């Protein structure tokens, strides 16, 4: 049974229809990318999973259970975490304080401390800058921090909105290395939005191309790369 099934969802903002029957299935520990230009409906698709918007038709299922239209906190409690576009880190707080915010809703202090240590092993650049104000980090480091903070909630499914935006290709590869490390280590499942597929095809298992609220094409990344 797939971890996530987005099944024929339609989403409207007022009288503008942003998604028209979008279906995406993500298996446990899979890395799936949604590629599409600005305005295609990528953020709306992630919001429909995380509970930020409610589809007026279709269903979202997590592990077979319909979660369509549930409140964001309830969906987060099921192990879904969103890294929004633009990172949304707290620039005047330190790197460590930003990480603490990720763990703040959890009750087990020991688990949070252990996860923090494990994450910092994976992210030496953040480990070296724990007491820097997050606003002084480079764009790539801020993206790493946003991902790390989201992972501190211990999600099974991580939704990442345009992690490559504004970053140099080399940094993009580093961000994906981190995401794939998390998948390897924790079995994390990833659904990632991107505008362009150039580098992403090297990192994803499957790709869906979204345009004007409709999936135009889907396939295994390696087939799309070769074709
Ligand atoms: P993408 O993430 O691919 O850039 P979005 O999901 O953000 O696309 O947006 C899809 C369409 O829905 C766009 O035309 C956008 O302007 C519109 N849209 C997104 N959010 C809202 C909103 N809160 N209210 C009205 N229209 C919106
Ligand atoms: P993205 O490329 O991720 O969709 P946008 O710049 O389209 O980013 O949207 C940024 C924010 O503005 C989002 O919260 C989105 O919901 C909202 N938004 C986008 N388009 C509109 C719109 N036409 N009317 C109102 N809000 C919008």
**220 against 127, higher pLDDT:** 127
Q: How many contiguous H segments (helices) and E segments (strands) does the chain have?
A: 8, 10
Residue 30: is its pLDDT beyond 70? yes
The backbone torsions φ and ψ at residue 43, rounded to the nearest 5 degrees and listed phi first, read -65, -35
Predicted confidence (pLDDT) per residue in 179-222, tens digit: 999 999 999 999 999 998 777 888 999 999 999 999 999 998 88
Does ligand 1 lie within 6 Å of residue 13's CB atom?
Answer: yes
Does ligand 1 lie within 6 Å of residue 15's CB atom?
Answer: no
SS3 at position 67: coil
Does ligand 1 lie within 6 Å of residue 162's CB atom?
Answer: no
What pLDDT is attached to residue 226?
A: 63
The backbone torsions φ and ψ at residue 90, rounded to the nearest 5 degrees and listed phi first, read -95, 105
Query: Contact 145/134 with Cβ under 8 angstroms?
Result: yes
Question: What is the whole-number distance in angstroms between the Cα of residue 215 and the centre of ligand 2?
Answer: 19
**Among the atoms of ligand 1, which is closest to the Cα of residue 19?**
10
Query: Which of 15, 18, 37, 192 has the most ligand 1 atoms within 8 A of CB, as the residue to mutate?
Result: 18
Does ligand 1 lie within 6 Å of residue 209's CB atom?
Answer: no
- Whole-number Å distance between alpha carbons of 86 and 146: 9
Query: Contact 11/18 with Cβ under 8 angstroms?
Result: yes
E strands, 138-205, are 157-161, 189-194
**Among the atoms of ligand 1, which is closest to the Cα of residue 162?**
2
The ipTM estimated for the assembled molecules is 0.78
* The two three-digit tokens of residue 50, written as one number: 């995380």
CA nearest to 41, candidates 68, 67, 86, 10: 10
CA nearest to 161, candidates 128, 113, 118, 210: 210
What pLDDT is attached to residue 202?
A: 85
Number of C-beta neighbours around residue 214 at 10 A: 14
Does ligand 1 lie within 6 Å of residue 194's CB atom?
Answer: no
**Among the atoms of ligand 1, which is closest to the Cα of residue 195?**
3
Closest protein CA for atom 13 of ligand 1: 39
- Whole-number Å distance between alpha carbons of 24 and 11: 15
Query: Which of 33, 44, 193 has the most ligand 1 atoms within 8 A of CB, as the residue to mutate?
Result: 44
Counting residues of the chain whose pLDDT is more than 90, the rounded percentage is 86
Number of C-beta neighbours around residue 223 at 10 A: 11
The burial of 217, by beta-carbon neighbours within 10 Å (0-12 exposed, 13-18 middle, 19 or more buried), is given as exposed
Predicted confidence (pLDDT) per residue in 43-71, tens digit: 999 999 999 999 999 999 999 999 999 99
**Cα–Cα distances in angstroms (integers) from residue 102 to residues 10, 92, 133, 175, 220, in the given order:** 31, 16, 16, 19, 32
Question: What is the whole-number distance in angstroms between the Cα of residue 102 and the centre of ligand 1?
Answer: 27
Predicted confidence (pLDDT) per residue in 133-187, tens digit: 999 999 999 999 999 999 999 999 999 999 999 999 999 999 999 999 999 999 9
């Amino acid at each position: 049974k797939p971890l996530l099934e987005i099944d024929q969802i339609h989403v409207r903002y007022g009288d503008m229809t942003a998604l028209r029957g979008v279906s995406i299935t993500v298996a446990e520990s899979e890395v799936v990318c949604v590629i599409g230009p600005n305005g295609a409906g990528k953020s709306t698709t992630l919001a429909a999973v995380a509970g930020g918007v409610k589809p007026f038709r279709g269903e979202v299922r997590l592990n077979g259970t319909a979660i369509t239209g549930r409140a964001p906190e309830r969906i987060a409690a099921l192990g879904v975490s969103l890294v929004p576009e633009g990172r949304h880190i707290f620039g005047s707080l330190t790197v460590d304080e930003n990480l603490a915010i990720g763990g703040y809703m959890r009750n087990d202090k020991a688990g949070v401390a252990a996860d923090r240590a494990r994450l910092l092993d994976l992210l030496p650049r953040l480990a070296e800058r724990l007491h820097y104000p997050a606003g002084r980090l480079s764009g790539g480091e801020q993206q790493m921090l946003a991902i790390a903070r989201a992972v501190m909630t211990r999600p099974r499914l991580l939704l990442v909105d345009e992690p490559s935006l504004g970053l140099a290709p080399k940094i993009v590869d580093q961000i994906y290395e981190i995401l794939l490390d998390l998948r390897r280590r924790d079995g994390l499942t990833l659904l990632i939005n991107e505008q362009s597929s150039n580098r992403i095809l090297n990192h994803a298992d499957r790709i869906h191309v979204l345009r004007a609220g409709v999936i135009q094409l889907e396939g295994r990344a390696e087939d799309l790369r070769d074709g």
